[in-house]
Amino acid sequence: MGSTTSLPTLGRGNPHSNYTAAKRSASSAGTDKQHRKQQSSSSNGANSLARSKSCSNANFGKQQKQHLLQQQQQQNGGLESTVEPATNGSQWHKVSNGNYAPEPEKTLASTTSLQKQKQQQRLKNLQRPPANGGLVGLNNLGNTCYMNSILQCLSHTEPLLRHFVLERRFQPSAGRNGSGLAKAYANLMLRMWAASASPTGADCTSPTELKQCVAQYAPRFRGYSQQDAQEFLRYLLEGLHEDLNLVSVRPKLPPVDYEHLDLLLDDDKADELWQRYLQQENSPVVEAFVGQLKSTLECCHCSHKSVTFDPFWDLALPIPGKSRTSLDACLKLFTNQETLDGNERPTCDRCRCRRKCVKRFHLYRLPSVLVIHLMRFSGERFKTKLNTLVEYPMELDVSEFLDKKCRLRQTPQYRLYAVSEHAGTPYGGHYTAVVRHAGTGRWLRYNDNRVEEASTRSVVSTEGYVLFYSRVDSQPAEDVGDDDNEGDDPVCENGEDEENTEKHVMANGNH
């Protein structure tokens, strides 16, 4: 059906500057100089001298402090004050132990940081998706409902919407002869997010330029024959990535040293392979859609384990042969232990020959946008279709399928925001999309050039084909402990082999 590529979200360094410390040091030096000048010019007298000494000290003695408090209480009519003005212009506050401490001064750095945060928040508020945008339908150019469905889902994908429309940060990659696909996509998104005169989106536009660019990038989409929406999504995202790739010239990397990788811990191995991937593939598209999958292969003869980490752009989930099932059941079928025997026996690195092995997948690095492809079509060029009702939740928690080591570091909660639907048979069907509006949060149904309100109840149906989940910005889930009955590693059994379940993980750039 397609291929998957992966990219995890990388943490960014946060080096600290010595600017604030330098400013504080200069301010302190200036204050000390001023105090010394006041001391030299003070008039004679016991009271004046005592007052000058108390002002020149950075910390008041306990007796001096009590004396000043008594004076202030007399001025206030005997009432105790918790805030006392110090003679050097700063404020003193009573702390829990009964002593007093100076109020921290507002430094230039802290003030600037606060102003910057307020400015960023105001800018973010201004860049929120407009309620009267994103309501434009798309004309069917001739069997292009598959394209219209995917475009409406991507139109409300927050990272792409912010990049192309709200912030307009689109710039073709330097030193790269882009296909023009990203520019055509940006132009279309701007038209789709133009203010609509109707609250239900009576306006429509034609994606003619974009279709031409996609056909140029992927010739299989030339003409007007029926196509698969999931395949179109993969080619479109890859084309956008190529145009926006920050790596203008891909470096020639040395072969992977698997013997070296086998000596590393899983975290180190995953990071090294991820950094290697980013050396060639790095774009806003990768940052949003690509994750990392852990694959563990264990030899049933010598128990040797081989662990690899591969990038993925989406998860292609098999559907159990039932009339009704859940998305969790599909994920379990995808990640459950699988026995590789017979012609599928891989070569064991330790035995140096083909052995019966067991294999298991775990999610390791979660993407911001999780795309799930329900494998409804089977056979060559869609000969059969499964109409199983897969109950996909509005709120998805993938912690059960995430590697244990990652459960404390990553947020495993996702929220459904778009579904590409297919109605009909493999030989004659129609694609639509049901999408949660990025600005208002209400559900809308996009049927080519028609846009109408949709109920939450209608979002889950037997027509659901490609699911779009956005990662929820919340605290990481708690660790479930070591007693998880699912386990993290495959276990070879000497009894009967488990049922061999077909699992699809798209390889980089291979269709």
**β-strand pairing of 100-102 with 137-138:** unpaired
**Known catalytic residue at 357:** no
DSSP class per residue in 279-318: TT--SHHHHHH-EEEEEEEEETTT--EEEEEEEES-EEE-
Angle of the 145-155 helix axis to the 208-217 helix axis, nearest 10: 100
Residue with tokens 């199983």: 388
**β-strand pairing of 100-102 with 91-94:** antiparallel
Burial class (CB in 10 A: 0-12, 13-18, 19+), 499: exposed
- DSSP E strands in 96-135: the ranges are 100-102
Backbone phi, then psi, for 405, in 5-degree steps?
A: -65, -20
317-326 in b/e form (b: 16+ CB < 10 A) is bbbeeeeebe
Q: Is 104 helix (H, G, I), strand (E, B) or coil?
A: coil
Please state, in angstroms and rounded to a whole number, the distance separating the CA atoms of residues 215 and 177: 17
**Known catalytic residue at 301:** no
CB atoms within 10 A of CB 85: 12
In what side-by-side order are the strands of the sheet with 338-340? 305-312, 291-299, 357-365, 338-340
Q: Is 141 helix (H, G, I), strand (E, B) or coil?
A: coil
Please state, in angstroms and rounded to a whole number, the distance separating the CA atoms of residues 197 and 201: 7
**β-strand pairing of 291-299 with 204-205:** unpaired
Q: 263 Cβ partners below 8 Å, 6+ apart?
A: none
Q: Is 431 helix (H, G, I), strand (E, B) or coil?
A: strand
Angle of the 19-40 helix axis to the 108-126 helix axis, nearest 10: 140
Please state, in angstroms and rounded to a whole number, the distance separating the CA atoms of residues 42 and 51: 10
Catalytic annotation, pick one of 35, 67, 301, 430: 430
The HSE-up count of residue 3 (CA atoms within 13 Å, CB side) is: 12
Catalytic annotation, pick one of 145, 153, 213, 348: 145
Backbone phi, then psi, for 90, in 5-degree steps?
A: -90, 170
Active site residues: 145, 430
